[in-house]
Amino acid sequence: MGQGRGYRLDYPLILQPPVAMGVYRILGFVLLALAIVGVVLPLLPTTPLVIAAAACFARSSEKWHRWLLANPTFGPMIGRWEEQRCLSRRVKAIALASMLGVGGFSIIQMVDVPGLRIAGAVLLAVGALVVLRLPTCPDSPESGKDEDA
């Protein structure tokens, strides 16, 4: 059973046939790479990509799944998603602000072709909708506020 930063998973690695495990592992690395690119390119929604990568690693590699859970940036968010199937308000706010700020700046200042501006705006809107449609975690009962993500 994997353990991350304060998160204990109550399930073992989901057993899959070897071919499926290989496909899930490759897909996990591809999704993780896209998530990393999404940190600097806000047209790619980092949060859902990291969660999807963690799901792929949960089905293929306990080592990489634990590594993601232990990551100080993404581990708490993944652990909360796996335990409660929700994102904190803070994670959503950061995701939306970075998409709007960096993505909006990029579209307005760096793109001169109107069709590309529209395409960029549509991609930003889709990314924002994905983040907004993910369930929001209830506030922490101890503090009355969102827990850090």
The per-residue pLDDT for 106 is: 85
2 pLDDT exceeds 60? no
- pLDDT at residue 14, as a whole number: 57
List CB contacts of 100: < 8 A, sequence separation 6 or more: 42, 124, 128
* pLDDT, tens digit (0-9, with 9 covering 90-100), for 36-64: 988 877 677 788 899 999 999 998 999 99
Whether residue 131 is predicted with pLDDT greater than 70 in this model: the reply is yes
More confident residue, 131 or 147: 131
The model carries a pTM of: 0.69
